Amino acid sequence: MIDELSRRRFLSQAGIGVSAAWVSAHWPAMVAAATHAHQAVQSGTAYKFEFFTPAEATEIDALSARIIPTDDTPGAREAGVLYFIDRALVTFASDDQQKYRDGLPELQSQVREKFPGVEKFSAATVEQQDELLHAMEPQDEKAPPRRRVNSVQTFLEALRVQTISGFLIDPEAGLGNRGGVGWKLIGREPEHSFQPPFGYYDKDYPGWQPAQKMADKK
Write out the residues near another protein by the rule CB under 8 A: 11, 14, 16-19, 22, 25-26, 66-69, 71, 73, 75, 88, 92-93, 130, 133, 137, 143-151, 160-161, 164-165, 167-170, 172-173, 175, 182-183, 185-189, 192-196, 198-202, 205, 208, 210-211, 214
Q: How far is the CB of 46 from another protein (least distance, A)?
A: 26
Q: How far is the CB of 78 from another protein (least distance, A)?
A: 12
Residues 70, 147 contacting (CB under 8 angstroms): no
Smaller CB distance to another protein: residue 140 or 194? 194
Q: How far is the CB of 37 from another protein (least distance, A)?
A: 12
Smaller CB distance to another protein: residue 53 or 201? 201
Smaller CB distance to another protein: residue 54 or 90? 90
Q: How far is the CB of 87 from another protein (least distance, A)?
A: 11
Smaller CB distance to another protein: residue 93 or 118? 93
Smaller CB distance to another protein: residue 68 or 82? 68
CA 52, 57, 62, 66 dihedral sign is: positive
Q: How far is the CB of 101 from another protein (least distance, A)?
A: 21
Count CB atoms within 10 A of the CB of residue 63. Answer: 26
Q: 27, 25, 21: which is closest to 7 by C-alpha? A: 27
- Give the Cα separation of 63 and 75 in Å (integer): 12
Q: How far is CA 36 from CA 7, 45, 101, in A?
A: 19, 15, 27
Question: Judging by beta carbons within 10 Å of its beta carbon (0-12, 13-18, 19+), is residue 40 exposed, middle or buried?
Answer: middle
Count CB atoms within 10 A of the CB of residue 31. Answer: 13
Q: 53, 47, 69, 81: which is closest to 162 by C-alpha? A: 81
Smaller CB distance to another protein: residue 57 or 181? 181
